[in-house]
Homo-oligomer: A and B are copies of this chain.
Amino acid sequence: MTVLDHDLAAAWTPDAHGPRRDPAPLLPDREPVRVLGTPALRRTVDSPGGRELLRDLHRRLVVGRRFNQQATTLTKQGRLAVYPASTGQEACQIAVAGALRPGDWLFPSYRDTLAVVSRGVDPLETLTLLRGNAHCGYDPYQHQVAPLSTPLATQAPHAVGLAHAARMRGDSTVALALVGDGGTSEGDFHEALNFAGVLNAPVVFLVQNNGYAISVPLAKQSAAPTLAHKAVGYGIQGRLVDGNDAVAVHTVLSEAVQHARSGEGPVLVEAVTYRLEAHTNADDAGRYRSAEEVADWQARDPLTLMERHLREAGVIGDAEVAAATDEAEQLADRMRTLFHVKPDLDPMSLFEHVYAEPTPQLREQAAQLAAELAAEAATEDQR
């Protein structure tokens, strides 16, 4: 070979346009990480604080399931306009709260009401969107929870921007964005992960791969080896976890959050799970999936799984289960009470928060509505 070739060889590495990352450490786990039913569970039990952690996860799972059930019941009673249940995905939903610190931010998607409630937001405030009385009933700054995002994946870039801003400020905040398997197809998902990689923002993306986007199965959504493999294209770390194993999700998410917090970069976590209920109460899941498939996954219910393994490991017994069930019933009671009170509705509020100050146009329109309401009230008084 000539000297020229040698020179070129140096130039023609993948680094020709600057330093690039080695792909090897970015590739996800070969198999989804599991703890329940593996030797890792024993290690967790024996670790300092391990038993408490496991009991806490179990308790949250029990309460989480009850939350989903009660919200579903309220919907059947007409108290919620629509409810997209996370039944079957509770391991992911509750792990979120445990993996984040108070200052961290959560960016939920429309199905993630349980994650929001697990983070501490009041159930009534969380559910206003689905009840129909207000878009976002909670103060995002109280528990650092962004509004539930209905347009899919659009909140992922918000998480990146917030994490980036926090990092510039010198804060140790981590942002966690929740996306569905369907949501990963959206351009915003791509742009968010790319920005995260380039900015090295302290952000974690959790994809709850429940196998369906409404009726569309994963095979029609993506041909990727796993969704976690998408990480490599952004130079960020991919992780794959059993999304029905609450301990595994907790562990992997905690590691990811720690990775992001320490400045090592963003992480994309794929949790393989299943939604046991229909897409929403309005959906007819029988149109697109078989009863056998649902039964298969019911046999892998995250709650049953957890309870069985923790009992087996001697971490919980009847007392813990009873205590958790009690707490769950208290929540359900509270929800029933809360939702039996008619919501406070002020039509004039429609104009209040469009801008910091209503524009002259909105003042005119508000006056029109006020006059209409007054006229209506007068008519009713006359009766």
Contacts and interface: CB of A to CB of B under 8 A. Distances in A.
Interface of A: 1-2, 4-5, 7-9, 11-14, 16-23, 26-27, 31-32, 34, 36-38, 181, 185-191, 194, 197-198, 200, 209, 211, 217-226, 229-236, 240, 242, 265, 272, 296, 299-300, 305, 308, 312
Nearest to A39: B1
B225 A26 contact: yes
Contacts of A36: 8
Contact of A197 (B17, B222, B236): B222
A185 B23 CA distance: 19
Given A4-B308, A8-B37, A14 B187 contact: no
Contacts of A211: 16-18
Query: 4 smallest A-B Cβ distances: which pairs?
Result: A187-B187, A223-B235, A190-B190, A5-B37
B187 A223 contact: no
A209 B197 CA distance: 18
B191 A188 contact: no
Contacts of A17: 181, 209, 211, 217-219, 272
Looking at A4, A21, A32, the one whose CB has the most chain B CB atoms below 10 A away is A4
Given A2-B37, A7-B299, A197-B222, 20 more contacts: A1-B38, A2-B312, A8-B36, A8-B305, A12-B32, A16-B32, A19-B219, A20-B225, A20-B226, A22-B225, A23-B225, A26-B225, A186-B191, A187-B187, A187-B191, A194-B223, A200-B223, A223-B236, A224-B233, A225-B232
Of listed A17, A20, A190, A296, residue having the most chain B CB within 10 A: A17
Contact of A20 (B1, B22, B224): B224
Copies in the complex: 2
Contact of A34 (B12, B38, B217, B219): B12
B242 A220 contact: no
Contacts of A18: 211, 217-219
Contacts of A218: 17-18
Given A217-B18, A272-B12, A27 B23 contact: yes
Contacts of A305: 4, 8
Contacts of A296: 11
A222 B189 CA distance: 15
Contacts of A8: 34, 36-37, 242, 300, 305
Contacts of A16: 32, 211, 272
B188 A194 contact: no
25 contacts: A4-B37, A5-B37, A8-B300, A9-B37, A12-B32, A12-B242, A12-B272, A13-B31, A14-B225, A17-B209, A17-B211, A18-B219, A19-B219, A21-B223, A23-B27, A23-B229, A26-B225, A187-B187, A187-B191, A197-B222, A223-B265, A224-B234, A224-B235, A225-B235, A232-B232
Contacts of A189: 190
A19 to B, nearest CB: 7
